[in-house]
Structure 1
Amino acid sequence: MQPQSADGASRDPTKVRRNLTYDQCYYHPAPLTRVHGQDVRTRSVRRQARIARREAALPSSRTAVSTPASSGFLGSTSYLSVFRETPRLSKAPDRSLCDEFEQWRTKLEYAAARVVRLASAIPFYLEQIRWYYDKGRFTVIPAPIVLDSLSQTVAHMESHPWNVTGNWASIYSDLMAATKSPLEISPNTSARQFNSLFTGPHLRFEFIGFIFAMAGLSVQGRFPGRQSLELGNGEKMDTDAFTTEMVLACHHCIEVCKQNSHVNDLTIWMRYMHILLATEVLGEPSERVYSLFGDLTSDIYAMGLHHQPSDHVPFFLAETRKRMLAVSHRTDKNLSTAMGRPPRLPHRYCDEALPLDLPDESLFEEKDSLERFLQRLDDGGWNRDGKFYPATLMRMRHILSNLREQVLELSLGRSTHPNYTKDILATYKFSQTIFNRIPSRYMYTSSCWKEMDAIECLARMIVRLEHLFSVLQLQRIRCQENSEATSDLLDTCLEVLSIVVDLTGQYNIHEIKKQFAWIYLLYGIPASGVLATELYRCTLSNQPLPLSKPRSEVIRTLSFLVSWVRNTVTEAQPSVMVGACLELNNVIFKLLDDALNYRPPLGSGQEDARLRSVDTGQSFEISIQGTRGDLPSDVFNIGLASGESLSWLDDLDFMQTSSGLSLM
């Protein structure tokens, strides 16, 4: 029964503001900015009974009340531990949305009406998601499944309009009933038949939640944070509010689906995309995101995706499942690195079959046409045409996640077991050969920016940086066993920085600008830190840098990069990625400044050598002055007298988990 006004008219609970009990819902024009007050007047017993009956008909959440994360254990590979253990670095803003999540959890009538209202904006979501796929190199679910099913949903809603104000409860009930029905799939199920299982009159919460997450990611990538959006259902909000609302609404859909005993492909898609969006909105790999990925892993195992034969589902769905497992593997290793915790989806327990390197559209072709596409693949499953498809990127990153997992075992595992040294050597040899599994035509080169579109170049670059980062981390471990490996480590660091310098030349491109901070934070900072500390150590000891490149090249590269970041990257909005990027860059800046301005004691014999190096171009002054005095170079216990050039990476071994392209 709908809430009634004095004249008997139905009222939308998302717009009821007065005379509510504490347990009732309320509406605020900016519902994400504050939570309902505590003290309100009590209503009649009759009114309470009506609400109790309605609340009983809605799903009850079994999720525990979320409290602000007091971040649990963070291991040696976690950059977040730096901010916990170094008070002089500023804390990231609290973006855990605990109050908002709690409101959606407890105000069930509000949540139900809100989800229905947001779902009515599906035409707007279709427009944004179509843009996302048009740009896509980082898409996961094949485009025809998503876009065709969305188009069918829009057509059905246009022919059967929703009355979201007067009939939201009935719509919600229909969605709930459809969600309770298992998806019946056979090897002969066509794409159209598959789409019909969750569109039109069979619209389900799994699909709605998936669309919420996809729309949030699309808008986040397309518009600035304060861009005003009109959803087409009478609502207007800016990009930040919209993406936050999508996180909350998708989370509600997940909670509804958890009450059913079955898990299906849509559930996996929804959970994965929700994790990507939640990381974007929350701004860091938080405890909530870590928990969400744990739930996704449980569902993957429950469905048997880690070891599932593909002969009982249609070809397009079998390939989609391979893609989902591939990206989940990579996300697992990235999240493990960011949190410093063991992986939860180890390769040794999973079917290692890679998704075929096919364009999305080919997965839905008839048998004869599909066979022609399959004949274009080589023996390794790569397309011979050199085309760079979403599946191409997924294959590349999945291959490299094997190396990351082995490096994590060395970093996070016990270093006292008898085979530890042998494992280091074996993993190092593996790191030198694994990249050969990727065809050379897909490798990153600096010239690609002149030959290809920016998104494809960025994708190639990220793959190369992911590989170099694993090698860097492995070489750091080798240095702890054998100091002669320092030369290899420094050469790798310089290679990382040369790639990041390439990216600075593309900073005016919108997609590059949005991704630069996390790329520099997770790859550039560790490499810069190693080079700067080793440069300082060698300066103090009057020793040559143990690497194959000239000292002047190291100084020029470091000086340019840290100065460029200080000049160019700005924190337009609170973001743990941008904030950490700028603060840690200042640490590198100060350390490099100390190294270049170091004057040896008189009579030490080093002064003449320093002057000679200046005369021959072996020094390069940083162009920006005014280093912050509150960020001394020993902020990570690499004090000016310590001579320690590597130990700080125990706190600064970053890896992407956040957002945007980082988790895609």
Structure 2
Amino acid sequence: MSARLAACEACRKAKLACDHKQPDHAFQAEKSREAEVGSILALDLYFKLANAFVSSIGSPDEPPSFNPRRNPYPNPGYLGSSSHAAIFKHITPEGDHGLGSHQAAPEALHSDLFGDNHLVLQGADILKHLLTTYKLSAMKDLVMFWLAKGANLALAEPFVNECAQSVSQLFSYNDDNWHLVYARCLMQNSAQPLQFNDTTDLADFSAQFLDHNARWETLGIFFAAVTRATIDIAFFPSLYTTEQEQYTLRRLCTKLCDFALEISLSLDCLNDLQLIMQYENFIVHSYVDGDQSYHSWRKLGDAISSTFALGYHENIETKPNIPPFLQELRKTAFARIYSADKNIAIFLGRPPRMNKRFCHFQIPSCHNAPHSRAWSSDAQAGYRADTRWSALCASLKEEIWELLQDKHDPQCASRASAIQRQAETQWQRLPPHFRLESSLKECTQGPFERDFVAGVRLHHLHVLFLIRLLLLKSPTEPDAPIIETAGQMLTLVVEIILLRDQLTNSGTGLIWKVAYYGLPAAGILLLAMLKQHMPRMQRTRSLQDLSVFVAEVQIGTIVRAGDPNYALLSKATRTIQRFLDSTHSDTAQPVAEVAGQEGTDEWATLLSLDLWDFEAGFWQSLADHPSLLAIEPSLPPL
């Protein structure tokens, strides 16, 4: 039996098994262990430095201490009628809301057992990098300039100006570790519940997260506004003069906004401010990552989950001790998230996640209106009005979506007709100054109002479009009603493209309008022209609109290579261009002749069976039409 060799000195000190063959391995292992211990010591030093350098931002009597442990009693959020809480509430003392209350227990809020130190440290580092690279005052000026143009964050609108003013005066850089101190203090504030009663007003509510009460949510709202401003304002010399500088600032602000949200959520004390930030963070990602991005899809899902967890899918007006302004804010949050769910579901061809069957449908009220869905004659264009109208249209879109699942039901046509009558009634109930009945160029209202009425009209046309699309036997056989509706949609989208410098975002951006409304309309019109189902005058107008659409994409005024929705728009543009070339080619066969050739029916089956799919797959299939295959694309690959 061979004698067991003693471990080498390096392995013995490192407390590692020794193979007696690779002394360098033991040395590296020891170094690795030392590095790991060093990281732990560095993290501990971070915590101690943060505690040692508490500054004037609401300096607590006791320095805050970092603790990596999490709250062992997670906040359950809203618990409905089928939950255990519904049973136990019958045996709890009167006034005790039981386990179903989504308010955190007061004793838990003063515990160190919450938060995620790793997130806090990362957020602190991003904060330091951003504020040492760019002047905070310049970012505030950018936001104020953006607000002066009439734009804003749609849901966080009441708080953006105050958050910008508060954040711009928040930080002082007296020490290398200032970012750690502020990160911890912001987290301590974020852990505090937002207090209110039935007499609380907006100013009192806002004071709980401004100035020395600033929270990570405050930063999140501010940097969401900075991100959005960089999208709408192409040149701001104190921060950026080139596209690359603009892109870098946008990405940094998005990253900090993400950390602000994740740190807040890690505290497990969901509230109204966090829900607002979740929605605005989703919108930021839809701009930065694109409407087809999984990041955007997941962010919207998170906002929906929080809506249910807070119980805002139930009748908000029946909840006690809620001040009127907060009721309206919660209705607005529900309505915007509900609308986003329907529109994104349609755009991506995925199931919606908020069903009216399980929700109390509610929208913010209109001043002086007799009931919740009515409009007053003096209603003003604004984000609240946009929220109301988009939610009303989204409600009809959900009903159309459900009909799509029962397309072969004998009652489908009659149910679709009933939805169409509802859509027309909704349109007629709008105040006259909200109804765009003529060309957008003839509209004499301001930039925000012009964009608003264009958006209102597009929502209405889209509902009619989806109804007609639902009733088609095949997407390759468009009928007169859908051709007419598609023509109106495309014409309005083209007008918006041409007048983009005279419009201010009133709820949805230019790219969304082009992709969500313009592409389906263009697709139907191309199919109609390929099948020779379009009157000559209408065909001429459609060709003009399509030509302008393609030209604007080609010169890069709508989208550029590297932009989030570039792939979708460029694919569609190449297909449209090939069709336009075919209509002007002397050598090409007439479209009607080619369309009647053998094999066209087989091509029709290549089109997506999902009637609502107008993404890249639809345009690829359309590009394979026999009449287009004979034409070499004149455009180089975009």
- Cα distance in 1 for residues equivalent to 2:119 and 2:31: 17
Instruction: Report if aligned partners of 2:339, 2:391 keep a CA contact under 8 Å in 1.
Output: yes
Per the TM alignment, residue 264 of structure 1 is displaced from its structure 2 partner at its CA by 0.8
- Cα distance in 2 for residues equivalent to 1:522 and 1:492: 14
Instruction: Report if aligned partners of 2:393, 2:459 keep a CA contact under 8 Å in 1.
Output: yes
Per the TM alignment, residue 276 of structure 1 is displaced from its structure 2 partner at its CA by 0.8
What TM-score do the two structures reach when normalised by structure 1?
A: 0.67
Q: Which amino acid aligns with 2:162?
A: D
Per the TM alignment, residue 331 of structure 1 is displaced from its structure 2 partner at its CA by 0.8
Asked if residue 113 in structure 1 is aligned to residue 122 in structure 2, the reply is no
Asked if residue 147 in structure 1 is aligned to residue 138 in structure 2, the reply is no
Secondary structure class of the residue paired with 1:341:
coil
- Cα distance in 1 for residues equivalent to 2:605 and 2:439: 29
Asked if residue 316 in structure 1 is aligned to residue 308 in structure 2, the reply is no
Aligned to 1:136: 150
- Cα distance in 2 for residues equivalent to 1:237 and 1:60: 40
Asked if residue 248 in structure 1 is aligned to residue 255 in structure 2, the reply is yes
Q: Work out which of the residue numbers 591, 615, 624 in structure 1 matches 2:579.
A: 591
Aligned to 1:387: 380
**Residues 429 and 245 of structure 1, relative CA distance in 2, 3 Å threshold:** same
Secondary structure class of the residue paired with 2:267:
coil
Aligned to 1:332: 341
Q: Where in structure 2 are the equivalents of 1:482-631 lying within 5 Å?
A: 486-507=479-500, 509=502, 515-538=509-532, 545=533, 550-563=538-551, 565-566=553-554, 569=557, 571-594=559-582, 597=585
Per the TM alignment, residue 172 of structure 1 is displaced from its structure 2 partner at its CA by 2.0
Aligned to 1:189: 200
**Residues 221 and 654 of structure 1, relative CA distance in 2, 3 Å threshold:** farther
Aligned to 2:15: none
Secondary structure class of the residue paired with 1:306:
coil
Q: More relative contact order in 1 or in 2 (CA 8 Å, sep 6+)?
A: 1
Per the TM alignment, residue 441 of structure 1 is displaced from its structure 2 partner at its CA by 1.7
Aligned to 2:310: 303
Q: Which amino acid aligns with 1:531?
A: L
Residue by residue over 1:261-302, the C-alpha shift from the partner in whole angstroms, topping out at 9 and shown as x without a partner, is 321111011111111111211133322221211111111112
Q: What runs of 5+ residues in structure 2 fail to find an aligned partner?
A: 1-28, 48-65, 72-115, 616-638
Q: Work out which of the residue numbers 477, 480, 502 in structure 1 matches 2:473.
A: 480
What TM-score do the two structures reach when normalised by structure 2?
A: 0.69
Q: Which amino acid aligns with 1:431?
A: A
Instruction: Report if aligned partners of 1:116, 1:172 keep a CA contact under 8 Å in 2.
Output: no
- Cα distance in 2 for residues equivalent to 1:330 and 1:579: 25
Aligned to 2:94: none
Aligned to 1:617: none
Aligned to 1:5: none
Aligned to 1:51: 42
Residue by residue over 1:172-213, the C-alpha shift from the partner in whole angstroms, topping out at 9 and shown as x without a partner, is 222222222211111122333212211233221222222222
**Residues 570 and 420 of structure 1, relative CA distance in 2, 3 Å threshold:** closer
- Cα distance in 2 for residues equivalent to 1:516 and 1:404: 21
Per the TM alignment, residue 491 of structure 1 is displaced from its structure 2 partner at its CA by 1.0
- Cα distance in 2 for residues equivalent to 1:639 and 1:568: 36
- Cα distance in 1 for residues equivalent to 2:563 and 2:440: 32
- Cα distance in 2 for residues equivalent to 1:577 and 1:45: 43
Aligned to 2:422: 430
Aligned to 1:355: 364
Q: Which amino acid aligns with 1:423?
A: R
Aligned to 2:283: 276
**Structure whose CA Rg is larger:** 2
Q: Which amino acid aligns with 1:276?
A: I
**Residues 570 and 498 of structure 1, relative CA distance in 2, 3 Å threshold:** closer
- Cα distance in 1 for residues equivalent to 2:70 and 2:504: 38
Q: Which amino acid aligns with 2:296?
A: V
Q: Work out which of the residue numbers 397, 402, 405 in structure 1 matches 2:390.
A: 397
Secondary structure class of the residue paired with 2:365:
coil
Aligned to 1:650: 610
Q: Work out which of the residue numbers 233, 250, 265 in structure 1 matches 2:272.
A: 265
**Residues 547 and 186 of structure 1, relative CA distance in 2, 3 Å threshold:** farther
**Residues 329 and 40 of structure 1, relative CA distance in 2, 3 Å threshold:** farther
Aligned to 2:176: 165
Q: What runs of 5+ residues in structure 1 fail to find an aligned partner?
A: 1-38, 63-103, 359-373, 539-544, 611-631, 656-664
**Residues 642 and 453 of structure 1, relative CA distance in 2, 3 Å threshold:** farther
Q: Which amino acid aligns with 2:521?
A: A
- Cα distance in 2 for residues equivalent to 1:324 and 1:119: 31
Asked if residue 346 in structure 1 is aligned to residue 360 in structure 2, the reply is no
Per the TM alignment, residue 132 of structure 1 is displaced from its structure 2 partner at its CA by 3.2
Secondary structure class of the residue paired with 1:456:
helix
Q: Where in structure 2 are the equivalents of 1:400-479 lying within 5 Å?
A: 400-411=393-404, 413-415=405-407, 419-444=411-436, 445-447=438-440, 449-479=442-472
Residue by residue over 1:352-403, the C-alpha shift from the partner in whole angstroms, topping out at 9 and shown as x without a partner, is 3431335xxxxxxxxxxxxxxx4xx566653433532222222221211112
Instruction: Report if aligned partners of 1:179, 1:204 keep a CA contact under 8 Å in 2.
Output: yes
Per the TM alignment, residue 336 of structure 1 is displaced from its structure 2 partner at its CA by 0.9
Asked if residue 126 in structure 1 is aligned to residue 135 in structure 2, the reply is no
- Cα distance in 2 for residues equivalent to 1:107 and 1:195: 25
- Range with greater deviation from structure 2 (289-298 or 144-153): 144-153
- Range with greater deviation from structure 2 (137-146 or 345-354): 137-146
Asked if residue 201 in structure 1 is aligned to residue 195 in structure 2, the reply is no
Instruction: Report if aligned partners of 1:491, 1:548 keep a CA contact under 8 Å in 2.
Output: no
**Residues 138 and 432 of structure 1, relative CA distance in 2, 3 Å threshold:** farther
Instruction: Report if aligned partners of 1:532, 1:592 keep a CA contact under 8 Å in 2.
Output: no
Per the TM alignment, residue 587 of structure 1 is displaced from its structure 2 partner at its CA by 0.3
**Residues 217 and 175 of structure 1, relative CA distance in 2, 3 Å threshold:** same
Secondary structure class of the residue paired with 2:285:
helix
- Cα distance in 1 for residues equivalent to 2:165 and 2:541: 54
- Cα distance in 2 for residues equivalent to 1:548 and 1:427: 31
Per the TM alignment, residue 549 of structure 1 is displaced from its structure 2 partner at its CA by 5.5
Instruction: Report if aligned partners of 2:279, 2:303 keep a CA contact under 8 Å in 1.
Output: yes
- Cα distance in 2 for residues equivalent to 1:237 and 1:567: 19
- Range with greater deviation from structure 2 (293-302 or 311-320): 311-320
Instruction: Report if aligned partners of 1:228, 1:239 keep a CA contact under 8 Å in 2.
Output: no
Residue by residue over 1:582-613, the C-alpha shift from the partner in whole angstroms, topping out at 9 and shown as x without a partner, is 33122022134335658898xxxx99x99xxx
Per the TM alignment, residue 45 of structure 1 is displaced from its structure 2 partner at its CA by 7.2
Aligned pair count reads: 512
- Cα distance in 2 for residues equivalent to 1:348 and 1:45: 53
Q: Which amino acid aligns with 2:390?
A: R
**Residues 424 and 448 of structure 1, relative CA distance in 2, 3 Å threshold:** same
Q: Which amino acid aligns with 2:148?
A: D
Q: Which amino acid aligns with 2:44?
A: R
Instruction: Report if aligned partners of 2:152, 2:160 keep a CA contact under 8 Å in 1.
Output: no
Secondary structure class of the residue paired with 1:147:
helix
Q: Which amino acid aligns with 1:257?
A: S
